[in-house]
A and B are shown apart, each in its own frame.
Chain A
Amino acid sequence: MDPITTIRRRVVFLTIVFLAILMIIWFFTPQKRLVAGFFLGLCVSLYNILYMSRKVRIAGERAILTGSTRNRGTGMVNRYLMVALAIIIAIEYPGWFDVRAVPFGLPICYILIILLEFWEARRLNHQIRKG
């Protein structure tokens, strides 16, 4: 399988598992607003990752085809505006979401990527040493 697809699938799978766990916690905890805010942040984080991976993939394919390193952007403004949207949604519906929990869900996917990639690099290194 394409390594790009592998990385993306792993991150999406783990994030969805995390979202499912949060949903179960939401049913049983009295702190529903806190968990919902975290859930909202995690959803935006997942969107950011998918959008970033699409942008990186498209730019890479364009660079391969044209041989040019000129690029039209990585979609950073779009990602930041999605964060703003999440905060505004949390402020608009204070009965559902706790706005203070949203920023803590935002970097989860990035942390997952870092952990997964380091784990993969360590595994490859171990395989090379073994021979």
Chain B
Amino acid sequence: MDLGVIAGAILMACAAIGGGIGNGLVFVRYLEGIARQPELRGLLFGQTFIGIALVEALPIIAVAFGIMKLLGIL
């Protein structure tokens, strides 16, 4: 098997694992906060949005490049 394919697959896997763990951590805190204090949902939503955006921006790019590597474009 071509090493590029393996590299692309590893890239995508690492991005998915990292993004999943990060998203999960942010999201669980959001749900705990909102279940405890529902009146703060607007503030918590904004902060969750920032958290998910910070966590997910890089894995999204990594997935894109991983697919390109997997399909032999890069």
A residues whose Cβ falls under 8 Å from a Cβ of B = 2-4, 7, 41, 45, 48, 52-53, 56-57, 59-60, 63-64, 67-69, 71, 74, 76, 79-80, 83-84, 86-88, 91, 99-100, 102-103, 106-107, 110-111, 113-114, 117-118, 120
Contact = CB atoms under 8 A, between A and B. Distances in A.
Nearest to A60: B34
Nearest to B54: A114
Contacts of B57: 107, 110-111
Contacts of B28: 69, 71
Interface in B48-64: 48-50, 52-54, 56-61, 63-64
Contact of A74 (B16, B27, B44): B27
Contacts of A106: 60-61, 64
Contacts of A120: 46
A87 B66 CA distance: 10
Interface of B: 16, 19-20, 23-24, 27-28, 30-32, 34-35, 38, 41-50, 52-54, 56-61, 63-65, 67-68, 71, 73
B53 A113 contact: yes
A102 B73 contact: no
Most chain B beta-carbon neighbours within 10 Å: one of A7, A53, A103: A103
Given A80-B63, A100-B73, A103-B64, 19 more contacts: A3-B43, A3-B46, A4-B42, A48-B60, A60-B31, A63-B34, A64-B35, A71-B28, A79-B56, A83-B60, A88-B67, A91-B71, A103-B65, A106-B61, A110-B56, A111-B53, A113-B49, A113-B50, A118-B50
Contacts of A117: 46-47, 49-50
Given A60-B31, A107-B57, A114-B54, A53 B49 contact: yes
Nearest to A11: B49
